[in-house]
């Protein structure tokens, strides 16, 4: 827009009184210059403006997220009998190396169980030794009885004869002795087997007791080993928040936990990812392989790049106090920066699409007035409201599909409010 410039001499000439016209001449000149100065000078200088441009618009979807480790080892309370009271917990955020102690539990109850089991095992082993000694004596005695019976049988058999020279009484007595010693041998062998079976049964019972005690010893020793959790690899300690004693919190020394309760995680810091959440309304815009820009809240510069790796199939309610449902996005980063730590909050800008060669204006230039979308375009007469149709937008610019041409100047605040001395109101388009 052209401007009107007057130096001091010209202004003095124009404003000087004329003899013929008198005061009417001065009034006419002032009435001509004042509106031109107001329209072309002061108001335009006070209203920030932008030019309508034709360019590529990168449509993005911004969602919150959190850094996670791609690989992480989770630890929970061991599945052991007895009380699980924490006596040591590694400090959250502490860097640990392989073999460092992460968690320890009180050992009192399990050490008492181990002593009891060891005592029962020693008693059972002692009793087994006694029974084996007794069995050896009983079986030796039974073997001697068998030997004696067999010798008597052999002597009786030697006396048997059919010779008529031997009195009949002696011949009959020899046959009776053979029968008697045959029965004696049978009884001695049965007594040996009975003694062996009885001894074996008693020993077997004690072996069962010993095995039970031995199993309890092994269990107690294994459980004692589980009461100390050590780091399987280098990492950083992340304590898990869970419900304990009716409230949400992280474990600390002195707490008692149930077997299986989650305790902590040890993430591998060499490769990080982002877990982000998109509202179900915008879920259709997020697709695998879409490029993203990740900005760490704690270290905004430089931004990091990556791509969506996976979009969850199910929308869930993340907070009980909110009915809003979100889908989880797994985002793979091109590179892991040493500044990245698990749990850091991030802002994820998803590159949804690029619109080539479209007319765009800053979002602040678009206003909603009485159900209409308009901008304030600069004209020779000042700022004029112009109805427009808008398309897609990103965080900074919006596509104008009709109502403006390339090169137009549009106001970034409401010029009408500015002219009245009110605080300037910036515009912002509704989501198309």
Q: What is the pLDDT of residues 366-411, one digit of tens each?
A: 999 888 999 999 999 899 999 999 998 887 899 999 999 999 999 9
Lowest mean pLDDT among 33-37, 254-258, 345-349: 33-37
pLDDT at 371: 86
Omega within 30 of 0 (cis) for the link into 302: yes
What is the mean predicted confidence (pLDDT) over 76-95?
Answer: 87
pLDDT at 171 over 80: no
pLDDT at 30: 31
SS3 of residue 104 by DSSP: strand
Q: Which helix (H) or strand (E) holds 229?
A: strand 228-230
Name the band, by pLDDT with cuts 50, 70 and 90, for residue 421: low
Average pLDDT, the chain: 82
- Report strand pairing: 397-402 vs 345-362: antiparallel
CA distance 66 to 267: 14
Q: Rounded to whole angstroms, what are the CA distances from 219 to 42, 215, 223, 377?
A: 89, 6, 6, 83
pLDDT at 307 over 60: yes
CA distance 383 to 368: 16
pLDDT at 424: 52
| 331-365 per-residue burial string, b: 16 or more CB within 10 A, e: under 16 | bbbeebeeebbbebebbbbbbbeebeebbbbbbbb
pLDDT in tens, 275-304: 999 998 888 888 999 999 999 999 999 999
Q: Kindly list the structural domains of the chain, giving each domain's residue range(s) and its CATH number in brackets, ordered by start.
A: 61-68+270-353 (2.40.30.170), 72-106+231-266 (2.40.50), 109-226 (1.10.287.620)
50/394: higher pLDDT:
50
pLDDT in tens, 102-155: 999 999 888 898 999 999 999 999 998 998 898 888 889 888 988 988 898 888
Share of the chain above pLDDT 90, in %: 37
DSSP codes joined into one string, 119-167: HHHHHHHHHHHHHHHHHHHHHHHHHHHHHHHHHHHHHHHHH----TTS-
Question: pTM here?
Answer: 0.53
Q: Are 390 and 429 in contact (CB under 8 A)?
A: yes
pLDDT in tens, 214-236: 999 998 898 899 999 999 988 88
User: Which of 279, 273, 283 minimizes the C-alpha distance to 318?
Assistant: 279
Q: Are 227 and 107 in contact (CB under 8 A)?
A: yes
List 177's β-bridge partners, or say none: none
pLDDT at 336: 92
Q: In the 8-state DSSP scheme, what is residue 256?
A: B
Break the chain down into helix, strand, coil percent, rounded to 5.
Answer: 35, 35, 30
CA distance 105 to 227: 5
CA distance 411 to 378: 7
342/411: higher pLDDT:
411
């Amino acid at each position: 827009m052209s401007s009107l410039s007057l130096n001091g001499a010209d202004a003095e000439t124009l404003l000087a009184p004329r003899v013929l016209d008198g005061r009417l001449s001065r009034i006419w000149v002032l009435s001509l210059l004042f509106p031109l100065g107001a329209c072309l000078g002061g108001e335009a200088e006070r209203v920030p403006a932008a030019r309508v441009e034709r360019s590529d618009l990168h449509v993005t979807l911004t969602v919150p997220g959190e850094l996670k480790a791609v690989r992480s080892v989770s630890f929970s309370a061991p599945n052991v009998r007895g009380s699980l009271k924490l006596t040591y917990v590694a400090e959250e955020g502490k860097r640990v190396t392989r073999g460092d102690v992460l968690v320890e539990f009180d050992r009192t109850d399990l050490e008492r169980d181990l002593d009891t089991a060891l005592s029962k095992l020693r008693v059972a082993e002692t009793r087994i030794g006694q029974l084996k000694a007794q069995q050896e004596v009983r079986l030796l005695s039974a073997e001697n009885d068998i030997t004696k019976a067999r010798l008597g049988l052999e002597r009786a058999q030697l006396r048997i004869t059919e010779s008529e020279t031997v009195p009949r009484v002696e011949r009959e007595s020899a046959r009776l002795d053979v029968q008697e010693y045959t029965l004696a041998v049978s009884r001695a062998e049965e007594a040996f087997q009975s003694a062996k079976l009885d001894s074996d049964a008693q020993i077997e019972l004690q072996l069962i007791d010993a095995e039970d005690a031995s199993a309890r010893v092994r269990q107690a020793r294994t459980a004692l080993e589980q009461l100390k959790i050590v780091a399987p690899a280098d990492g950083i300690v992340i304590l898990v928040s869970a419900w304990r004693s009716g409230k949400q919190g992280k474990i600390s020394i002195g707490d008692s936990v149930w077997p299986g309760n989650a305790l902590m995680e040890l993430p591998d810091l060499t490769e990080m990812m982002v877990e982000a959440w998109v509202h179900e309304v915008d879920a259709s815009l997020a697709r695998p392989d879409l490029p993203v820009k990740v900005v760490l809240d704690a270290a905004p510069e430089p931004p990091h790049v990556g791509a969506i790796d996976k979009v969850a199939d199910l929308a869930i309610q993340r907070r009980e106090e909110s009915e809003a449902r979100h889908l989880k996005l797994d985002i793979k980063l091109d590179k892991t920066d040493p500044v990245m730590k698990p749990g850091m909050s991030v802002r994820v800008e998803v590159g949804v699409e690029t619109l080539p060669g479209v007319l765009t204006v800053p979002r602040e230039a678009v206003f909603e007035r009485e159900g209409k979308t308009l901008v304030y375009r600069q004209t020779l007469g000042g700022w004029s409201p112009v109805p427009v149709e808008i398309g897609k937008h990103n965080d900074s610019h919006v596509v104008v599909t009709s109502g403006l041409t390339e090169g137009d100047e549009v106001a970034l605040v409401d010029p009408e409010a500015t002219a009245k001395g009110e605080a300037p109101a910036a515009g912002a388009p509704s989501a198309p």
